[in-house]
Structure 1
Amino acid sequence: MAKTTSIQIGIPEKQRKHIADGLSQLLADTYTLYLTTHNFHWNVTGPQFNTLHTMFMGQYTELWNAVDPIAERIRSLGFFAPGSYAQFTKLTSLSDVPAKPPKAVTMIETLIKGHEKVAATARRIFAVASEANDQPTADLLTQRMDIHEKTAWMLRSLLES
C-alpha cells in the first residue's frame, strides 16, 4: 500500500480545494465548449462553410490542448480532476446544444457566448488564485482568459456587416 504524503506547497488545503473546485468548473466549461465547437465543425453548412469549418477546427484543437493542463493543475493541487460527462454536466456553466445543428450564424453566436462564459469562469477563479498567491494557477488562468476573449472577438467580427 502506497503512503500518501501531505502537500506542502505554501497554499493551505482549504484554499487549494477552493482553487481546485474552480478549476474543475473551468475544465468542465472547456470540455463542453470543445465538444460544441467540434460538433459545429462537423455540421456547419452554408456560404461560409469552408471558413467556419477551418476556423472551428483551429478552435476545437486549441480547446482540446487546454484540458490537460487544467486537469494537471487540479492534480498538482492534490485533488482529482473530473473526467466524466456526468461530472462535466453538473459542473459546466454552458448549455448543451440542440440535437439538430443550428444555422451557421447561430453557431457563431453560441460560440461567442461560450467563450465569454469560459473567460468569466477563469476570471472568477483568478481572484481566488491571486488571494492564495498561487502563481501557476494565475498564469494558467491569464492565458485562458486571453485566448477566450480573443476568440470571442474574432467570432463577433464575423457577425459585423
Structure 2
Amino acid sequence: MSKTAIASLTPETSKDAIHTGLKAAYRKEIANDLSSILAATYRLTIKSHVYHWNVVGPVFKSIHDLTEEHYNALFEATDIIAERIRALGHLAPVRFAMTETFAPAKGDDVDQGSAHDMVNDLIAEHEQAVRDMRKAAAKAGDNDDMVTEDMLTARLTFHEKALWMLRAVVAQ
C-alpha cells in the first residue's frame, strides 16, 4: 500500500476550522474529559461482564440479569461518547496504549468475591462515574454545549438508576 493511501487511513483531528460557537480550547478540554469518561465506561462494562459470568449464591439470577442489562447499555454508551468526542473535532482514543485505561486497574479488581462484594464494587464504580459526569456536564453547561450536557444527563440518568437497582439488590 502506498504512503498516500496509508496516510489517508490514519485518524487525525479535523483540520477544518469548526465554527459551532464552542471555543477550540473548551472543545479540547471537554474531549479529554469525555475520553476519561469513555475509559471509565469501558472499565465498568468489563467489570459488569466479569461479574455477570462469575456471580454465585442466592441472588445469582437477579445480579446475573441486572449486570447483563448494564453491560449492554454501557457498551452502547461507549459509541455515543466516542462519537461526541469526534463531533467536537477530536479523536476518540485510537492507540492501544490509550486503551490500557479501559481495563480494570489490576487483576484483583475483579477477583472472585462474594455477590455482595461484587455489587458493592459496581456501586463504587457507578458513583465515581456519576461524580465525573456531573462535573463534565456542569462544564458543558457553563460553555453553552447543550449537546454534551444533554448526552451526559442521559448517561447520569442511567447510572443513577443502576445505583438504585444495585443498592436494592444488597439492601438488608
Does TM, scored on the shorter chain, surpass 0.5?
A: yes
TM-score when normalising by structure 1 = 0.90
Distance 1:53 1:97, change over 3 A: farther
Distance 1:124 1:89, change over 3 A: farther
Q: Does 1:7 find its partner at 2:14? A: no
Q: 2:72 — aligned with what?
A: 61
Once residues 97 and 30 of structure 1 are traced to their aligned partners in structure 2, the CA distance between those partners, rounded to angstroms, is 18
Larger-Rg structure: 2
Aligned length: 160
The question of whether the paired residues in 1 share the 8 Å contact of 2:31 and 2:88 is answered with: yes
Q: 1:112 — aligned with what?
A: 123
Distance 1:122 1:21, change over 3 A: same
Once residues 130 and 88 of structure 1 are traced to their aligned partners in structure 2, the CA distance between those partners, rounded to angstroms, is 28
Once residues 37 and 51 of structure 1 are traced to their aligned partners in structure 2, the CA distance between those partners, rounded to angstroms, is 13
Once residues 83 and 116 of structure 1 are traced to their aligned partners in structure 2, the CA distance between those partners, rounded to angstroms, is 27
Distance 1:110 1:54, change over 3 A: same
Once residues 47 and 95 of structure 2 are traced to their aligned partners in structure 1, the CA distance between those partners, rounded to angstroms, is 16
Q: 1:70 — aligned with what?
A: 81
Deviation at 1:48, TM superposition (A): 1.3
Deviation at 1:129, TM superposition (A): 0.6
Unpaired segments ≥5 residues, structure 2: 9-13
The question of whether the paired residues in 1 share the 8 Å contact of 2:63 and 2:169 is answered with: no
Q: What does 1:1-161 align with in structure 2 at a 5 Å threshold?
A: 4-83=15-94, 86-90=97-101, 95-96=105-106, 98=108, 100-161=111-172
Once residues 94 and 118 of structure 2 are traced to their aligned partners in structure 1, the CA distance between those partners, rounded to angstroms, is 26
The question of whether the paired residues in 2 share the 8 Å contact of 1:29 and 1:88 is answered with: no
Q: Once structures 1 and 2 are overlaid, which stretch shifts more, 71-80 or 42-51?
A: 42-51
Once residues 72 and 102 of structure 2 are traced to their aligned partners in structure 1, the CA distance between those partners, rounded to angstroms, is 22
Unpaired segments ≥5 residues, structure 1: none
Describe the SS at the equivalent of 2:144: coil
Deviation at 1:100, TM superposition (A): 2.9
Deviation at 1:88, TM superposition (A): 4.2
The question of whether the paired residues in 2 share the 8 Å contact of 1:32 and 1:88 is answered with: no
Once residues 32 and 85 of structure 1 are traced to their aligned partners in structure 2, the CA distance between those partners, rounded to angstroms, is 15
Once residues 64 and 95 of structure 2 are traced to their aligned partners in structure 1, the CA distance between those partners, rounded to angstroms, is 27
Deviation at 1:89, TM superposition (A): 4.1
4+ residue stretches of structure 1 with deviation over 6 A?
none
C-alpha distance after superposition, 1:25-67 (max 9, x if no partner): 1101111000000000011111111111111100101101100
